[in-house]
Amino acid sequence: MSAQPIPPISPEEYLEGERQAEYKSQYYNGKIYAMSGGSFTHGLIIFNIGRELGNALLDTPCATVGSDVRLCVSPTGLYTYPDVLVVCGEVRYVDLRRDTIMNPTVIVEILSPSTEASDRGFKFAQYRTIETLQEYVLVSQTEPRIEKYRRDGNEWRFTECTGLDTICEFASVNCKIPMARIYHRVTFEPV
Q: What is the pLDDT of residues 110-162, one digit of tens each?
A: 999 888 999 999 999 999 999 999 999 999 999 999 999 999 999 999 999 99
Range of the domain at 89: 38-182
pLDDT at 5: 67
Residue 44 lies in a domain: yes
Q: With bands split at pLDDT 50, 70 and 90, how would you rate the model's confidence at 1?
A: very low
Residue 17 lies in a domain: no
Residue 58 lies in a domain: yes
- As to burial, measured by CB atoms within 10 angstroms (0-12 exposed, 13-18 middle, 19+ buried), residue 52 is buried
Specify the CATH number for the domain of residue 130: 3.90.1570.10
| Beta-strand relationship, 84-88 and 135-139 | unpaired
- Please state whether the predicted TM-score (pTM) of the whole model is above 0.75: yes
Q: What is the pLDDT of residues 7-55, one digit of tens each?
A: 889 999 999 999 999 889 999 999 999 887 788 999 999 999 999 999 9
Residue 167 lies in a domain: yes
Q: Are 63 and 53 in contact (CB under 8 A)?
A: no
Residue 141 lies in a domain: yes
- Give the end-to-end CA distance of the chain in Å, rounded to a whole number: 50
The candidate with the shortest Cα–Cα distance to 71, out of 61, 80, 58, is 80
Indicate the number of domains in the chain. 1
